[in-house]
Chains A and B, each alone.
Chain A
Amino acid sequence: MAAAEKYAKVDRDVLAAMKRPGRAYLAGLAFAVLLAVMFHLLWAYQVRSGLGVVGKMHPVMWALYITNFVFWVGIAHSGTLISAVLFLFRARYRTSFNRAAEAMTVFALMVAGMFPLIHLGRSWVFYYLLPYPNQRQLWVNFRSPLVWDVFAVGTYFTVSLVFFYVGMIPDFAAAKQHVLGVRKKIYTVLSLGWQGTQKEWRHYNMLYLFLAAFATPLVASVHSVVSWDFAMSIVPGWHTTIFAPYFVAGAIFSGTAMVITLVVPMRKYLSLHEYITDDHFESIAKILLFTSLIVSYAYIVEFGLAWYGENIFERETFRYRLLGDYRYFTWTMLFCNSVVPLTLFARRLRRNTAYLFAISILVNVGMWLERFVIIVTSLSHDYDPYAWGIYKPTFVCLGVDIGSFGLFFALYLLFVKNLPVLSISEIKEHL
């Protein structure tokens, strides 16, 4: 095939996704939007009635909302890993995933960012968390991990958004010739008048390199900071130095699984088999397996040290985690996160996208449960035995939880139809 035709085919294939939506798509989008609306309605109800409508109690004062926050922030990390870190490593297979992964990052952070607001008792004064000059001459407590969250997640979101957008500038320029009407105007504006001159490309390459370089430490640091929400406390089961690497590995683990969950159907429904091959999936599956092993190691370390360390508080917390009221959650988590991914040692299974899709769902469930187990079991059985108590979620916190998934998928589905789902210019570059 001649070169021009090859490039034109790339354009066609990728932009084919943006044609009129089919019924299945609309149904899916409608369902996701419905969940997102439920999310907002329940949140409004909670703000109106007070946080009493959720299941949180004494002593489990953090439960589903923080679980979701950590879960969504974690998912975001894999996107940056694929975009930025693999870029620095010059990993070729990255090109088929990186746009979807970056989109996933941005949307996951959007959803994640709502949860610190939702879990506030007085969300109407949320701005107290931001350092702004005020007549009380009061700033924020920079020693608090929650303020670190504000800065870290805020930085991460901004940088990811910039990175996402920057990656799409040449693609907007390329795509604008193939669309009509309002879309054409929007793409033209978003492309900033990009022409593709040598000067532009020179600056662009350096920009991209630096953005990747800036984003790379964020992969390690942001989830470390989020994990320090827990590790900086004295709660048994939280206060441990392994949390930062453990959570970062877990984040990449769950994020990679989410990438698989998103890309497998996307490839199928948009017929992108040429661009996203089984080889690509095998590489991603290897990342999944690798991070699963790290997470399993972290479990072994945690339980092992609790047993070995003779700290009666730690011991009780981990005994409770494994054998107490929440044991089914813990066992499911261990099964999904540590046992199931071991099957990926088999090459055949690594290349079987249906199997990968199934595993990715299980891994997401397992990782969500991991955050839940960490938060709730540690708080439930803390230092003072009188204060021990059991948390049971209510329809409000569950509804907001499920609704957040709806919000995420709604955003993602909208992305699939409106923005180029693959990095066109990079694909052409490597053809």
Chain B
Amino acid sequence: MADRMVFEDREQFLEGLRELVRDGVPRERIRVITPFGVPEVEEILPGTRSRVRFFALIGAAGGTVTGLAFTILTALSWPLVIGGKPIVSLPPFIIIAFALTILFGALATFAGFLLLSRLPSLQGIRSEEEHGNAFVILVEDGERR
């Protein structure tokens, strides 16, 4: 049976949540909706750390590699003598690589967030339900224990 508990106060909400957990309701069936991020929820309902961080790592690494590869390969493809400098001039190329590291990292992280949070969510957009500033705990119908 779906259960829905709405709290106006934060402490009451946390108390209610702890009670649920003590009652033994499996975590997968508990959905929590809050108007802002409440850190205690993570303690009560611990989950795996967000995998967004991998997206960040891969994006950043990809940015570095792309930056260096792009600059070095394009410099080698048409080796023009510029001010007597070496064709593969690493100091300026590192700057480009740095910029791309940040750029790809940020974009990849954002993409990872969207992916992992399943956003944009059509259901969320179309939903007329307004929670306002309430803290809501939803317990979904579970399978037979």
Contact = CB atoms under 8 A, between A and B. Distances in A.
Q: Do chains A and B touch in the complex (CB under 8 A)?
A: yes
Contacts of B109: 207, 210-211, 214
A162 B107 contact: yes
A82 to B, nearest CB: 18
Contacts of B85: 143
B117 A199 contact: yes
Given A142-B93, A152-B99, A201 B120 contact: no
A205 B37 contact: yes
A202 B42 contact: yes
Interface string B73-109: 0110110001101000100110110111011011101
Contact of B31 (A7, A141, A197): A197
A2 B9 CA distance: 8
Contact of B124 (A195, A218, A426): A195
Interface string B104-133: 011101101110110111111111001111
A332 interface: no
Contact of B102 (A3, A155, A202, A203): A155
Q: Which of B10, B119, B133 has the most CB of A within 10 A?
A: B133
A194 interface: yes
A140 B50 CA distance: 39
Interface in B18-75: 31-38, 41-42, 45, 47, 49-50, 52-53, 56, 60, 70-71, 74-75
A210 B77 contact: no
Nearest to B124: A193
A8 B117 CA distance: 27
Interface residues of B, number: 64
B92 A217 contact: no
B52 A170 contact: no
A419 interface: no
A359 B133 CA distance: 39
Interface in A165-206: 166, 170, 174, 177, 188-189, 191-206
Contacts of A198: 31-32, 34, 41-42, 45, 47
B131 A196 contact: yes
Given A131-B74, A197-B32, A177 B47 contact: no
Identify which of B36, B119, B124 gathers the most chain A CB atoms within 10 Å of its CB: B36
A203 B42 CA distance: 12
A268 to B, nearest CB: 27
Interface in A110-157: 131, 137-144, 147-148, 151-152, 154-155
Given A162-B110, A202-B47, A203-B117, A3 B8 contact: yes
**B-side binding surface: helix, strand, loop or mixed?**
helix
Interface string A363-377: 000000000000000
A429 B99 contact: no
A189 B53 contact: no
B134 interface: yes
Contact of A204 (B37, B45, B96, B106): B37
Contacts of B77: 137, 139
A148 B92 contact: yes
A37 B77 CA distance: 44
B33 A197 contact: yes
B37 A201 contact: yes
Contacts of B112: 203, 207
A221 interface: yes
A205 B42 CA distance: 12
Contacts of B45: 198
A379 interface: no
A429 B125 contact: no
A43 B45 CA distance: 58
Nearest to A6: B133
B94 to A, nearest CB: 10
A392 interface: no
A8 B134 CA distance: 10
Given A193-B119, A194-B119, A151 B96 contact: yes
Given A211-B109, A428-B36, A142 B71 contact: yes
Contacts of B74: 131, 139-140, 142
Nearest to A200: B117
A425 interface: yes
A429 B40 CA distance: 12
A4 B8 contact: yes
Contacts of B31: 197-198
10 contacts: A8-B133, A148-B96, A162-B106, A174-B133, A192-B119, A194-B121, A195-B127, A207-B52, A210-B52, A211-B109
Nearest 3 CB-CB pairs, A to B? A193-B124, A7-B133, A193-B121
Interface of B: 8-10, 31-38, 41-42, 45, 47, 49-50, 52-53, 56, 60, 70-71, 74-75, 77-78, 82-83, 85, 89, 92-93, 95-96, 98-100, 102-103, 105-107, 109-110, 112-114, 116-117, 119-127, 130-134
Given A139-B74, A159-B106, 19 more contacts: A3-B9, A7-B35, A142-B71, A143-B83, A174-B35, A195-B127, A196-B33, A196-B34, A196-B35, A200-B117, A202-B47, A202-B50, A206-B53, A211-B110, A214-B106, A214-B109, A215-B102, A217-B98, A428-B36
